[in-house]
Amino acid sequence: MKPNKLYCDLFGHNYQITKKVTNHVNEYTCKCCKKQLTTNSNGRLTELTPKHQDINTALERLYNNKAMRLKRKTLTSSIC
Ligand SMILES: [Zn+2]
């Protein structure tokens, strides 16, 4: 969609969070041109390449495991 791209060039991208990977890493998609960004290890925004997608998938898995463990721990300690 060329007109959307032009809009982005003129006014900047209109990024929305499309996926929360961890507390610090998100994936963003521009509502206009569908360009995708992600947070890299430096905390900066960078283009979402297939490599970053792989990293994010791995991060997400790790993060979810950790979050689940924490949740279970909290639950147990509140019962005891
Ligand atoms: Zn855009």
Kindly report, residue by residue over 48-73, the tens digit of the pLDDT. Answer: 999 999 999 999 999 989 888 888 87
Percent of the chain with pLDDT over 70: 90
Q: Ligand 1 centroid vs 6 CA: distance in angstroms? A: 9
Tokens, residue 43 = 């905390």
At residue 41, the pLDDT reads: 84
pLDDT tier for residue 2 given thresholds of 50, 70 and 90: low
- Return residues with CB closer than 5 A to ligand 1 (ion): 8, 13, 30, 32-33, 35
Residue 13 has pLDDT above 90, yes or no: yes
59-64 own/partner pairs: CB under 8 Å, 24+ apart: 59/21, 59/22, 59/25, 60/21, 60/22, 63/21, 63/22, 63/23
